[in-house]
Copies of this chain bind each other. A is one copy, B any other.
Amino acid sequence: MSNIGYDGHMELHEPDLSDVPVTAVLAALADDVRLRIVRALAEDGERVCGTFELGVTKATRSHHFKVLREAGLTRTRVAGTSRHIRLRRDELDRRYPGLLDAVLTDRADA
Contacts of A32 in B (CB 8 A): 21, 23
Evaluate contact between A101 and B103: CB separation under 8 angstroms: no
Q: Could you tell me the distance between the alpha carbons of A109 and B21 in the complex, rounded to whole angstroms?
A: 5
Mostly, the A contact residues are helix
Provide the residues of chain B in CB contact with A99, threshold 8 Å. 98-99, 102-103
Minimum CB–CB distance for A12 against chain B, Å: 22
Identical subunits present: 2
Whether A102 lies near B98 (C-beta < 8 A) is yes
Contact B102 A106 (CB under 8 A): no
Q: Are B96 and A106 in contact (CB under 8 A)?
A: yes
A29 beta carbon closer than 8 Å to chain B: yes
- Find out whether the CB atom of B101 lies under 8 angstroms from the CB atom of A97: yes
Give residues 11-31 of A contacting B (CB, 8 Å). Answer: 18-19, 21-24, 26-27, 29-31
CB contacts (< 8 Å) of A97 on chain B: these are: 98, 101-102, 105
A80 nearest CB across to chain B (Å): 34
